[in-house]
Structure 1
Amino acid sequence: MSRSTGGVMGKGAISAGAVAVLMLAAGCKAAAIDTDGGRPSASGEGGADDKPGASAPVTPAPDPTPGRTEPSRTPGPSRPAERTGPATPTVPPKTLLARGARGGQVRELQARLRQVAWFQQNPTGTYGPATAGAVKGFQGKRGLPRTGTVDTVTWQRLRAMTREPTRLELYAGGGIPPAKPDPRCLTGRVLCIAKSSRTLTWMVDGKAVSTMDVRFGAQYTPTREGTFSVYWKSRHHVSTLFHTAMPYAMFFSGGQAVHYSSDFAARGYNGASHGCVNVRDEKKIAKLFGEVRKGDKVVVYK
């Protein structure tokens, strides 16, 4: 008997399980099965809490992708509509300097080109063939059009590669505007010598008569500063110490004199004197030598 009963019970259990499996496969929740073999309630939810007329709770739809959680979406700002109008035209570079130009900006251009070894001469302030050739070389090396004229793009590139030229760099070949006269130069007959501008200005009663480029002594043989007077003039002087010619010499402090220097004329500021004030323009100092008198004042200042 027990074996037969077990067989009957086994068939009942299999039937109930099969029903549940079929319902789950259909996507439905299995109805509650009364353990006493009764029918499920009409609502589909068995148990004592089932009340007539009560609406059945809504079952959420299963996630189409098991194990995946749909991220929450936070609405962001709306993207503005793209404009499809005509593109802004490119502004062509503006020409700043070209051949024939003169002035301070040309001198600065030449000094900057000299810093990057494209201009081998001293700045002159005149935009000639040598300057145009240097600009072409600089442009070609940087992949810019080789026009030989300086436009805004070329100038900005050159400025980015160089520093602000000093006054002495701008006037490496001379021609610096004379410095403001020292007050001691404003009365009488004076050789007014300014180290800052490397100029000698011959002044009479506060008025400049002529100005010329000069150079001074080296670090260990500096030109003395102060107020002096011309005590000796020697037209064809030769140094007894260095055995070098000192034409148009006007001595003002010991062995230091104002005189013409052929070395200064040839080498410029690459050289220096042994303390004297060298003049490179022979014509100017020859005229000055004829005008200066023994006893005239000499002022050397920074």
Structure 2
Amino acid sequence: MKRSSAIRRAVLAAAAVALVVTGCTDRTGGSGGGSGGGGGTPQSPASASATGGSASDGKPSSPAPSSSSAAPSSPSSPSSPSSSAEVLMKDGDENEQVRELQARLRQLDLFDRAPTGFYGSITGKSVAAFQKRRGLPVTSTVDAATWELLLSLTKEPTADELKPSTTNKLDTPDPRCTTGRVLCISKESRTLAWMIDGKVVSSFDVRFGSENTPTREGEFKVEWKAREWTSTIYHTPMPYSMFFSRGQAVHYSADFAARGYAGASHGCVNVRDRAKLAALFDQVKPGDKVVVHW
């Protein structure tokens, strides 16, 4: 009996040891390991965040072991940017502060056209040039540091500087514009210069067709003129039309006069100064050269 009892005790002890080993395998083995319970590796705040949760999202069935040895938590990212890095003006903004920005950049010869109040790619390039010149981080956006330095280097713009009545600054003429009688049209500066033998006689703000209806580039001639004309396609007035390329013309646009560069043409070169264009219309002759370039 004693021998049988001893054998039973030995068998029970061995079975108990086998159960413990099996239990440990279930909790720590496999590709995923534990899920927050005892025996598994506790999920760190960083890994919890990477899976879409936070360190406090889960509800483990029991406390993680060796909590006293766990690494202390630390901020996952630096604190929010300082006020000096806050973006004040950026691409797509349209307001009077942007107009002032452009006027001040123009005082430093970094913005070569009339202020529009719209922050586009040209304004971004001008800001980047200012930042590079002054040793600031080149971001093409205006933060407090950029704005404060610009204010210190320029004077408050006058009303004429903010909303000048004159045209955009002309580009250097395309070489094709330097001889003869030419309507020299620049897409870069959005200007038309009426030139005779290399001299600018008059100049105008202009706008062009949209991406879907672009104004063609190249060298053309004035084919014919019409003091009063209505588009046969779009049924809109086109006063003082000077046609140069298969229906595309230089002409006055009431929409351009009212909305500025918020709109676009269907391919024509729009002019917004009706009185000046009327005078130009009387000077230009069929056969005069037209150059549309960047």
Structure 1 or 2: more helix by fraction: 2
TM-score w.r.t. the length of structure 1 is 0.47
- Larger Cα Rg: Structure 1 or Structure 2? 1
Q: TM-score with structure 2 length normalisation?
A: 0.48
